[in-house]
Amino acid sequence: MTRNAIASILALAALALAVLAPTRSTAAPPEQPIRYTHKVHVTDYKLDCRFCHVYATKSASAGIPSVAKCMMCHRTIATDRPEIKKLAQYWKEKKPIPWVRVTELQEYTYFPHFRMVTYGKVPCLTCHPGIDRDDIAVQRQEFGMGWCLTCHRGRGVSIDCWTCHI
Amino acid sequence: MLNRRGFLKIGGATAFAALFGGCERLPKTLVPFVIPPENYALGESLWYASVCRQCPAGCGIVVRNSEGRAKKIEGNPLHPVNRGKLCARGQAGLQALYHPERLGTPLKLDGPRGSGKFREIPWEEALRLLMTGLSGVRAEAPTALLMLTDPMRGHRNLVSARFMKAFGSPHRVAWDPFGQDAHLSANEAVYGVRDLPEHDLAGTRYLLSFSGDFLETGVSPVHFGHAYGRMRAARPTVRGKFVHFGPRLSMTAANADAFLPVAPGTEGYAALGIAHVMVREKLTPAAAAAGGLWNAGLKEFTPQAAEEKTGVSAADIEAVAREFGANQPGLAMAGDAAAACTNGVFNLSAVGLLNLLAGNVGKPGGISFPDRLAAFASFGAEAKLLLPAAESGYPAVRDAVERMGKGKFRMALLSGATNPAFTLPPSLKFEEALLKVPTIVSFASFLDETTSLSDLVLPTPTYLEEWGDDLPPAGHGGEAITLGQPVVTPFRDTRSMPDVLIAAAKELGGPAAAALPWGSFRECLEKAYAGRGIDLEEAHKNGGIFSGKAGATRPAPKAGSPALPKAAEAAFAGDPARYPLVLHVYPSSALSDGRGANLPWLQELPDPIATAVWRNWVEVGPKTAAALALSDGDGVTVSSPFGSLQAFVFVHPAIAEGVAAMPLGQGHSRYGKYAADRGGNPYALLPASVESATKAPARHATRVSLVKTRMKGALVRTVHPEGQWLYENIL
């Protein structure tokens, strides 16, 4: 086999890996209806993630805070900022805010937040690294199977297929 | 504060749009609540208590509700009737809720009458049409209004009764093909109480059943099923014995320790044979004291005489009588097949006599008559409207059909699951007569044989979407008021019948408006129970008001020496030479009287004995089949003097010879794609005969013939009737 042929095969293999690997870009944050910043809420004011994502401890989905929840504080806090005015407008019209999904998982997996958060005691930032410093949330962690398995093995949690693929 | 309905609305509108958007990828937008409902947690279930209306037993249910959708129905553990259990029909209620053929918009006839062709119209137009009809009839001849429904109970019935009374028409007819007329008359004759009793199955030591399939159909199958389980297994030292007399081995009979096949309509003679032995041998103190019966004629009814009539050997009758006498408290029960013969009252009175001879009336493990009316004393004269009406209403139906035929009615309001165009004998010509009524308005969730004859169909919510209350006919001491509530926001644009009647009464004004003074049916219920010292919110959480204490009992049933019932033979239409077999029809354990036929879960539920699905069949014994040169799976034409249909033969290994049995429920011509074209309708074989004393319909009153016929397809069964380990199969 010539060196060229080997190089071609290697190049093809690399290409195949690139194609098959999860292709999420971490560069461009999606356009959100309101420029919500995790940094101000989590890092600066030290709010617990679960203060807003209330279902994380008891449901499969962590949940998005209701408009009423945002307004609990923003009735009086920073009411003159343009982004808060947008929020107030949603509240006034009693319309939900159409947030754009940031974190995605493959559809064939089942990820129950409450198992990790309540029983596994896994900190939120383990799976959502850096989100506490984002001005606009970005998904930085790819949820590849190897990454999940590493964590499951390290913690001695079941790696039975049907634990996650149901 | 957000109320529960508001919560359901928001839940339905927001979270659901996102979660159930279709089978695409995960939605790209995440839409939160504007205001989250109370007690809400994403993905967590809430259970709402309500009432089952899949059959008239009135079991309590709890419905699992997640993200605003009903996902599972189970029995309400607090409910005295079913104690947390629920049958397959109750479980299938979800399919009625989500049914693709459910009516969601008012329909106006758009073609010839009876064609079943409709077009959708808005509610405003539908109500205007209804009001035009009602006002016209009331102005000219109020008695020309007919209301034909299934037997209603609770305030639903009260609203309808008040509406018709205030309107000025006495013609309110409730039709139930499985009415308990013969039971009521027999109870009046034997015990002196015209009411349905409580049978303490759980506490009895020896149960005698006469043609009653109480575990699968009948008055309250889940209640009896649970009590039966306790009779057999809940006591440390006693395992109650169960002996079943009946023409065929039903699922109930299959559970018995002994099954004794009797010729149809001879159950009374079997009971008298047992009574003869009990009195002759003074088997119980009560039998010893009943010497007067002997000379009144009981001495004629020897076990040998019973053998001649019933086909059960005299030795078996003597053995059963001695065991029954020795194991007290014992209980005797009779069911639909014994009641729906032309001699039903005789059969049931003879069975009642056994309870008197056992001395178990009003005692634990026996039969008792709670005073259900006592709990509603505060409702005065209207209390009776709230209680279950046990009658079939057949005489009133026949009268109504006659009047319709003579053009006496100008408008008919129809409602209910009992579907008279399907369940009445065709010789009554119900459909023909109904179409002579100038205006027909139906309240319905589905277009069945009856509602598709209408001019106007007003869509109603299913029982999972509406308010209501219910008083179950059996299984409690008279103190169980079940409350129903919507467990989901109504899916379609529907209005319940009581709500429409209340609105119509308001529009009619005068006495009608005064008789129905509420803004809605919910308000009517709240006002009715508000004055009774009940925390209604708590009651809705529990699914009703269950006092837990034994209800008031009636004054001691008829004392003194019991009377001997007047013997009567069952009559069967048709010449025995031409129609050699006696037809025995029974309600299907899945489809009930036919109302369940549009639910695929029930269609695909194998019959507990025949294991067949999606079709009906005719059962004959092996000897009968051999005599007619029929084998299992053959197609036959079943003919009675009144009609004929095609069915597959099921050679039933345990059925009285000379009997052809068919389950009721299949054979719909309308009622949607799941119900239609699944074999013939056995109701169409039945005569218009009546029980001689009560004038209730006598279903078991005709003979049939079977003629081999070529039929397409086959009866789908899960196992061979003689067991999947049939000898040939093993080889």
- In one letter, which amino acid is A133? R
Is the CB of A61 less than 8 angstroms away from the CB of B44? no
Token pair belonging to A6: 């080997």
Residue A70 to chain B, least CA–CA distance (Å): 10
- As a whole number of angstroms, the distance between CA B500 and CA B504 comes to 6
Chain B hits for A64, Cβ within 8 Å: 30-32
Substitution target from A31, A50, A51, A61 for chain B, most B beta carbons within 10 A: A61
Question: For residues B267 and B584, is the Cβ–Cβ distance under 8 A?
Answer: no
Residue A58 to chain B, least CA–CA distance (Å): 8
Query: What does DSSP say about strands B172-174 and B145-149: parallel, antiparallel, or unpaired?
Result: parallel
For CA atoms B287, B292, B293, B299, the dihedral sign is positive
Chain B positions contacting chain A at CB under 8 Å are 14, 25-36, 41-44
Question: For residues B501 and B157, is the Cβ–Cβ distance under 8 A?
Answer: no
Q: CA separation (Å) from B482 to A60, B49, B51, B503, B525?
A: 35, 9, 6, 25, 12
- As a whole number of angstroms, the distance between CA B413 and CA B453 comes to 12
Angle value at C-alpha B137, between B135 and B143, nearest 5 degrees: 130
Question: For residues B306 and B269, is the Cβ–Cβ distance under 8 A?
Answer: yes
Residue B44 to chain A, least CA–CA distance (Å): 7
Is the CB of A101 less than 8 angstroms away from the CB of B41? no
Q: Flag whether pLDDT at A19 surpasses 90.
A: no
Best CA proximity match to B277, nearest among B224, B320, B242: B320
Q: Flag whether pLDDT at A13 surpasses 90.
A: no
Within B239-299, residue ranges assigned H as helices are 251-254, 267-280, 285-289, 291-296
Token pair belonging to B1: 């504060």
Residue segments in chain B with a per-residue pLDDT below the cut of 50: 1-2, 4-24, 725, 727, 729-731
**pLDDT tens for residues B419-439?**
999 999 999 999 999 999 999
Query: Which uninterrupted H or E stretch holds B587?
Result: strand B581-587
Residue B67 to chain A, least CA–CA distance (Å): 12
DSSP for B171-231 reads: -EEE--TT--HHHHHHHHHHHS--SPPEE--TT-SEEEEES--TTTSSS-HHHHHHHHHHH
**pLDDT tens for residues B174-185?**
999 999 999 999
Q: CA separation (Å) from B304 to B269, B277, B279, B506, B620?
A: 11, 11, 16, 67, 26
A–B: how many Cβ contacts below 8 A? 64
Is the CB of B43 less than 8 angstroms away from the CB of A61? yes
Chain A hits for B26, Cβ within 8 Å: 101, 104, 107
Residue B24 to chain A, least CA–CA distance (Å): 10
Substitution target from A55, A72, A118 for chain B, most B beta carbons within 10 A: A55
In the DSSP assignment, the letter for residue A45 is T
For B43, the closest chain A residue by CA position comes to A59
Chain B hits for A95, Cβ within 8 Å: 34
Chain A positions contacting chain B at CB under 8 Å are 54-55, 58-61, 63-69, 90-91, 94-101, 104, 107
Selecting from A95, A100, A107 the residue whose C-beta is nearest the C-beta of B34 gives A95
- As a whole number of angstroms, the distance between CA B702 and CA B389 comes to 28
ipTM exceeding 0.90, yes/no: no
For residue A159, the tally of other CB atoms under 10 A from its CB is 12
Q: What pLDDT, on a 0 to 100 scale, did the predictor assign at position B89?
A: 96
In the DSSP assignment, the letter for residue B561 is S
Question: For residues B55 and B151, is the Cβ–Cβ distance under 8 A?
Answer: no
Query: What does DSSP say about strands B703-708 and B635-640: parallel, antiparallel, or unpaired?
Result: antiparallel
Q: Is B537 exposed, middle or buried (0-12, 13-18, 19+ CB in 10 A)?
A: exposed
In the DSSP assignment, the letter for residue B78 is T
Best CA proximity match to B476, nearest among B219, B236, B93: B219
Best CA proximity match to B275, nearest among B214, B339, B351: B351
In the DSSP assignment, the letter for residue B597 is G
- As a whole number of angstroms, the distance between CA B641 and CA B636 comes to 16
- B311 φ/ψ sector (left φ>0, alpha ψ -120 to 50, else beta): left
For B25, the closest chain A residue by CA position comes to A107
For residue B555, the tally of other CB atoms under 10 A from its CB is 10
- As a whole number of angstroms, the distance between CA A97 and CA B29 comes to 9
The number of C-alpha atoms within 13 Å of B452 and in the hemisphere containing its C-beta is 16
Is the CB of B33 less than 8 angstroms away from the CB of A67? yes
In the DSSP assignment, the letter for residue B569 is P
Best CA proximity match to A131, nearest among A39, A58, A62: A39
Is the CB of A91 less than 8 angstroms away from the CB of B34? yes
- As a whole number of angstroms, the distance between CA B431 and CA B411 comes to 15
- As a whole number of angstroms, the distance between CA A93 and CA A102 comes to 25
Residues 6+ apart with CB under 8 A from B663: B585, B586, B587, B588, B591, B607, B610, B616, B617, B682
Question: For residues B403 and B141, is the Cβ–Cβ distance under 8 A?
Answer: no
Is the CB of B34 less than 8 angstroms away from the CB of A96? yes
Token pair belonging to B84: 């947390």
Chain B hits for A60, Cβ within 8 Å: 42-43
DSSP for B488-528 reads: S--SSS---HHHHHHHHHHHH-HHHHHHS--SSHHHHHHHH
Is the CB of A59 less than 8 angstroms away from the CB of B43? yes
Token pair belonging to B604: 């695909």
Best CA proximity match to B156, nearest among B467, B620, B480: B467
For B66, the closest chain A residue by CA position comes to A59
Residue B65 to chain A, least CA–CA distance (Å): 15
Q: Peptide bond preceding B600: is omega within 30 degrees of 0, i.e. cis?
A: no
Is the CB of A107 less than 8 angstroms away from the CB of B25? yes
SS3 B617: strand
Residue B9 to chain A, least CA–CA distance (Å): 14
Question: For residues B204 and B331, is the Cβ–Cβ distance under 8 A?
Answer: yes
Angle value at C-alpha B232, between B226 and B237, nearest 5 degrees: 135
For B18, the closest chain A residue by CA position comes to A98
Residue A16 to chain B, least CA–CA distance (Å): 24
Within B359-437, residue ranges assigned H as helices are 383-386, 394-405, 420-423, 430-434
Is the CB of A99 less than 8 angstroms away from the CB of B44? no
Q: What pLDDT, on a 0 to 100 scale, did the predictor assign at position A106?
A: 84
Q: What pLDDT, on a 0 to 100 scale, did the predictor assign at position B20?
A: 41
pTM, entire model: 0.82
For B29, the closest chain A residue by CA position comes to A100
Residues 6+ apart with CB under 8 A from A113: A55, A56, A57, A59, A60, A61, A62
- As a whole number of angstroms, the distance between CA B265 and CA B246 comes to 9
Is the CB of A66 less than 8 angstroms away from the CB of B25? no
For residue B708, the tally of other CB atoms under 10 A from its CB is 14
SS3 B509: coil
Rg of chain B (C-alpha set): 26
Residue A108 to chain B, least CA–CA distance (Å): 11
Q: What pLDDT, on a 0 to 100 scale, did the predictor assign at position A49?
A: 94
For residue A89, the tally of other CB atoms under 10 A from its CB is 11
